[in-house]
Amino acid sequence: MTEAKEFRAGFVSFVGRPNVGKSTLTNALVGEKIAITSPKPQTTRRAIRAVAHRPDGQIIIVDTPGMHRPRKLLGERLNAVVTSTLGDVDVIGMCFAAGEKIGPGDRFIFDQLQKFPTAKKVAIITKLDVNHKAEVFERLVEVDQLGEWDAVVPVSAVSGEQLDVLQQVLVSLLPVSEPLYEATHVTDETPDDLIAELIRESALAGARDELPHSLAAVVNDTETDDEGRLHIYASLIVERDSQKGIVIGKGGSRLSTIRQFARKEISRALGRSVSLHLQVKVLKEWQNDPKSLGKLGF
């Protein structure tokens, strides 16, 4: 008779340069959309906790903002979130896009990881589905030269290739433990936080370069009508009047597109009919104002 494996549970966080697929990987491991995705740097701004359930373990993923050199108070606070999170997790997975050579940004992040000696370190080569084997092999060599790892795993979050292998590796590095969450629990993110993030994701799609860091979204109120439809009243926050014009677009065309896309994503995520009422507000230099950052939850 085969002896049953010990159940393991613990915390994992992914780090890496912008657009290496950290949030996409989180969503793939959990099996549903938890974190928003965008090619824009610093898309993730909050530590979102999600749970990937397996028969042999529970991987609690803390999706954090990207580690970077801050230029504003918001950046400093985001870095503080990252540092606080990495100090508590059991495993840190550093992601490298298979098609991008390792550069100074990767080395900076790797050096920062040495501040957390108790966490296991896993190198994850992402985007196998869009890169040739030669590029993947080149990244594997570069990752090996970068430093020591507890494991190295190539994976594609989009096609699912090697996803189960990564889960097995992560579980094996976690401590023996009873389940830390109920089997039905997927995320600690509140519905309002999820709604605000999906609105921001919709606004980021196709946004000009000067907008992403200046965009925030907040849910002001929600109510359910007699037919069971959820009415959401929310605001997109920018720093300057010129940015407000960009978000609204000519004749309100861009804001209408944002609203339509966000409403569909929110309805899909919540599994119910929703109506989205969206406005744009200017909050001058909110990224550098402690009071404004506090109001926006940073």
Residue 144 clears pLDDT 70, i.e. is over it = yes
* Residue 261 parent element (H or E): helix 253-270
Tell me how far apart the alpha carbons of residues 24 and 204 are, in angstroms, rounded to a whole number: 16
Q: What are phi and psi of 145, to 5 degrees?
A: -75, -20
Decide if 256 is inside a domain. yes
Decide if 179 is inside a domain. no
Residue ranges for the known binding site are 16-23, 63-67, 126-129
Q: Looking at the structure, do residues 130 and 220 belong to the same domain, yes or no?
A: no
Q: Looking at the structure, do residues 198 and 169 belong to the same domain, yes or no?
A: no
Stretch 9-37: mean pLDDT: 81
Decide if 1 is inside a domain. no
Domain boundary among 138, 173, 208: 173
Structural domain range at position 255: 191-296
Decide if 35 is inside a domain. yes
Q: Looking at the structure, do residues 118 and 243 belong to the same domain, yes or no?
A: no
Q: Looking at the structure, do residues 152 and 234 belong to the same domain, yes or no?
A: no
Short-list 77, 53, 71, 52, CA closest to 62? 52
Residue 8 clears pLDDT 90, i.e. is over it = yes
Short-list 148, 136, 122, 147, CA closest to 25? 122
Short-list 278, 167, 173, CA closest to 221? 278
Q: Tell me the per-residue pLDDT of 211-225, one tens digit each, with 9 for 90 and over.
A: 656 788 899 999 999
Decide if 181 is inside a domain. no
Short-list 149, 124, 161, 150, CA closest to 139? 124
The predicted pLDDT at position 66 comes to 61
CATH number of the domain that 271 lies in?
Answer: 3.30.300.20
Tell me, rounded to whole angstroms, the distance of Cα 269 from its chain centroid.
Answer: 16
Residue ranges for the known binding site for GTP are 16-23, 63-67, 126-129
Domain count of the fold of the chain: 2
Stretch 93-103: mean pLDDT: 92
Tell me how far apart the alpha carbons of residues 63 and 15 are, in angstroms, rounded to a whole number: 9
Q: Looking at the structure, do residues 71 and 146 belong to the same domain, yes or no?
A: yes
Tell me how far apart the alpha carbons of residues 148 and 138 are, in angstroms, rounded to a whole number: 17
The predicted pLDDT at position 41 comes to 43
Stretch 43-63: mean pLDDT: 78
In order of 4, 49, 52, 132, the CA distances from 212 in angstroms are 49, 23, 29, 31
Q: Looking at the structure, do residues 43 and 111 belong to the same domain, yes or no?
A: yes
Residue 250 clears pLDDT 60, i.e. is over it = yes
Whether 270 and 228 have beta carbons less than 8 Å apart is answered as no
**Cβ-based neighbour number of residue 192 at 10 Å:** 16
**What beta strand segments (E) does 22-149 contain?**
48-54, 57-63, 91-97, 120-126
Residue 291 clears pLDDT 50, i.e. is over it = yes
Decide if 126 is inside a domain. yes
Q: Tell me the per-residue pLDDT of 160-193, one tens digit each, with 9 for 90 and over.
A: 999 999 999 999 999 999 999 888 888 877 888 8
Q: Looking at the structure, do residues 156 and 17 belong to the same domain, yes or no?
A: yes
**Cβ-based neighbour number of residue 163 at 10 Å:** 17
Domain boundary among 173, 205, 240: 173
Which of residues 172 and 87 earns the better pLDDT score? 172
Which of residues 123 and 18 earns the better pLDDT score? 123
The predicted pLDDT at position 211 comes to 60
